[in-house]
Amino acid sequence: MKLTTARISQLLFLALFLLLFLQTEYRGHDQINAAVNSFFRADPLVLVSYLLAAKSWNWLLLPAVLMTLATLLLGRFFCGWICPLGTLLDLLTPKQRSTRPVPWLAGNLKYWLLLPLLSASLFNLNLAGLLDPIAILLRGLTFFFYPLLGLTAREGWVRLYGLIGEQRDSLAPAYGLLKNYLLPFRETLYPLAFVSALLLVLIILLERLETRAWCRHLCPLGTLLGWLGRFSPFKRIPPGLCADCGQCRELCPTTFDQGSLNREECILCMECEQGCPNQRISFRPSWPLQLSEPVLPQRRLLLGGLAGGLLLAVPTRFRSPEKESGLLRPPGVRDEGDFLKKCVRCGECMKVCLKNALYPAAWQAGLDGIYTPLVIPRLGYCEYNCTLCGQVCPTGAIPNLAVEEKKRQVIGKAVFDKNHCLPFARKTDCIVCEEHCPIPDKAIRSREVRVLGLDGVMKTVKEPYVVEEICNGCGICENVCPVETRAGIKVHVVRNRAPITEEASGQLGY
């Protein structure tokens, strides 16, 4: 791999991506200044699908507009200069690389992926994030590879304690450094970890069949950028292979299998310019604009894509009421439909979640909700003073709220299950839930009640109850409930998620 300018840029952006990935975690500060969401906010596929689905403007996505404009001007440079997945593929390309297109991938397949995705967005089903290359990479890392790294390191560290006990402390500073800067704080196991890793691995395996096969034939972001690139005034001169040489065919990672450069697939890596034995190649703007290809894909594709999106969007709307009632969303999400339209499913909120309360929905939220974040209080609760998920959400699907405002956001409402809750079921004291309830005036309170104990003796027990008006559904009660079978208190979804009002807290008559 020669270090051309494009290569250096690629490596820098990959390093930036990984650095931001590590930054997407609580590291002692309430605010995360730069997170990996920057990549999504500059992602034109996220932008277009968001605009189509939400049908509203969002200033968070301004960088993506700039990226779109830059692509219109320069062409599909993102793939050859920035995309971290592309860089990863380049790094993993086998020595004996093949640039011949895989027949079953070639052709219009990429449009059959992109167009239904966009059309479905128009019909309120935004699944673009499922196939967005950066999201695929991030999910593979977040749900599989990063926890795996953490688990391996932790296991080793724990085993070491088993072997040498307290003496391990002499190595603690080194491990502390790793833990503070590289390893995840908690090694969380996620649902869909296998699927997330598999998708990433499959894309990497495609590289064995053809260089950048994913980018060229499948990637919806690449396809979109390629289409935008058609309008770029920058052209390669000469456009085709020279009769006396033909080296470009070997040098080019993405195109040239037909004798001339396919501008849509050119990722501007400049390999041909650098490698040309005769220095004949240059990329220069030419004016007026001459479009070699039609502006829109064939009509059949366009209509087919539109219909495909419609077919995808309508049936997935069905969601059984039982499913709906179990969907606890991150704090600040008030409307399920609106949330689904905006969520990129990138996995950042789940990566950053302080107590690992958020997990990707596998089937719970229906097909249209796959990979969207769900709060699972029994596994982790929403930390009262934490606002990280809103900070890293690239589209504001989880709103970025100030901490005082976030505390009042309602995720759900806690309800006691008297068949399990100890003071009711076993007539013993407990109220661990009240102890942990973070609401300053306590959304869980208790009262002393004379009850007949299970042993037949009258006794006084503290019976807890929920003050619904000020419960924000953070789930710490369900999380810490010491009943091991099934929590004696459970957070349920409520339709009205209006924030707790100032008046509601404190002055209640019970």
Partner 1 sequence: MDRRTFIKSAGAATVLAPVLVQELLAATEMSLVAVAEGTDYPAITRKAINAVGGMKRYVKAGDLVVVKPNMGWDRSPEFAANSHPLVVRAVVEECLAAGARKVKVFDHTCNDPRRCYVKSGIEKALKGLKGVECKQIEPERFRMTALKGQFLKEWELYDEALAANVFINLPVAKHHGLSRLTLGLKNIMGVMGGNRGFTHRNLAVALADVNSHLRSHLTIIDATRILTAHGPQGGNLADVKVLNKVIASADIVAADAYATTLFGLKPADIAVTVAAHKRGLGQMNLDRIKVVKV
Using the rule CB under 8 A, is 502 a contact of partner 1? no
Q: Which two tokens stand for residue 204?
A: 């990497």
Using the rule CB under 8 A, is 351 a contact of partner 1? no
From the list 127, 128, 324, the residue with the least C-alpha distance to 224 is 128
Report in angstroms how near the CB of residue 122 gets to partner 1 at its nearest: 41
* List 187, 324, 338, 383, residue binding partner 1 (CB under 8 A): 383
Q: Which two tokens stand for residue 142?
A: 């977040």
Cα 478 to the chain's mean position, in Å?
26
**HEC string for 462-486:** EEEEECHHHCCCCCHHHHHCCCCCC
Contacts of 57 (CB under 8 A, 6+ apart): 51
* List 428, 447, 492, 508, residue binding partner 1 (CB under 8 A): 428
Does residue 332 contact residue 409 with C-beta atoms inside 8 Å? yes
Cα–Cα dist 348/488, whole Å: 31
Report in angstroms how near the CB of residue 407 gets to partner 1 at its nearest: 9
Report in angstroms how near the CB of residue 483 gets to partner 1 at its nearest: 9
Please identify, using beta-carbon distances, which residue of 257 and 434 lies nearer to partner 1.
434
User: CB under 8 A: which stretch of 39-47, 232-240, 298-306, 475-483 binds partner 1?
Assistant: 475-483
**Helix (H), strand (E) at residue 446:** strand 444-452
Label residue 71 exposed, middle or buried (CB < 10 Å: 0-12, 13-18, 19+): buried
Measured between alpha carbons, how far is residue 499 from residues 222, 242, 377, 502 in Å? Answer: 41, 67, 19, 9
Measured between alpha carbons, how far is residue 254 from residues 20, 89, 243, 262, 263 in Å? Answer: 28, 12, 20, 9, 10
Using the rule CB under 8 A, is 354 a contact of partner 1? yes
Residue 428 has φ and ψ, to the nearest 5°, of -120, 160
Does residue 421 contact residue 487 with C-beta atoms inside 8 Å? no
Report in angstroms how near the CB of residue 272 gets to partner 1 at its nearest: 50
* List 441, 454, 468, 508, residue binding partner 1 (CB under 8 A): 441
Q: Which two tokens stand for residue 412?
A: 């759900």
Please identify, using beta-carbon distances, which residue of 441 and 468 lies nearer to partner 1.
441
**Sign (positive or negative) of CA dihedral 374, 440, 387, 138:** negative
- Please name the residue ranges forming H helices in 210-327: 213-217, 220-229, 248-251, 271-275, 299-316, 321-325
Question: Residues 5 to 44: which contact partner 1 by CB under 8 A?
Answer: 26, 28
* List 438, 469, 500, 504, residue binding partner 1 (CB under 8 A): 438
Report in angstroms how near the CB of residue 153 gets to partner 1 at its nearest: 13
Measured between alpha carbons, how far is residue 124 from residues 116, 137, 307, 344, 368 in Å? Answer: 12, 25, 14, 13, 10
Report in angstroms how near the CB of residue 32 gets to partner 1 at its nearest: 13
User: CB under 8 A: which stretch of 10-18, 77-85, 115-123, 431-439 binds partner 1?
Assistant: 431-439
Please identify, using beta-carbon distances, which residue of 68 and 356 lies nearer to partner 1.
356
Using the rule CB under 8 A, is 285 a contact of partner 1? no
Question: Residues 181 to 200: which contact partner 1 by CB under 8 A?
Answer: 185
Please identify, using beta-carbon distances, which residue of 29 and 495 lies nearer to partner 1.
29
User: CB under 8 A: which stretch of 116-124, 196-204, 280-288, 439-447 binds partner 1?
Assistant: 439-447
Helix (H, G, I), strand (E, B) or coil at 282: strand
Question: Residues 452 to 471: which contact partner 1 by CB under 8 A?
Answer: 462
User: CB under 8 A: which stretch of 79-87, 94-102, 248-256, 421-429 binds partner 1?
Assistant: 421-429
Report in angstroms how near the CB of residue 232 gets to partner 1 at its nearest: 47
* List 172, 245, 303, 307, residue binding partner 1 (CB under 8 A): 172
Using the rule CB under 8 A, is 158 a contact of partner 1? yes
User: Which residues are at the interface with partner 1 (CB under 8 A)?
Assistant: 26, 28, 158, 161-162, 166, 172, 176, 185, 354-355, 383-386, 422, 426, 428-432, 434-436, 438-442, 446, 462, 480-482, 484
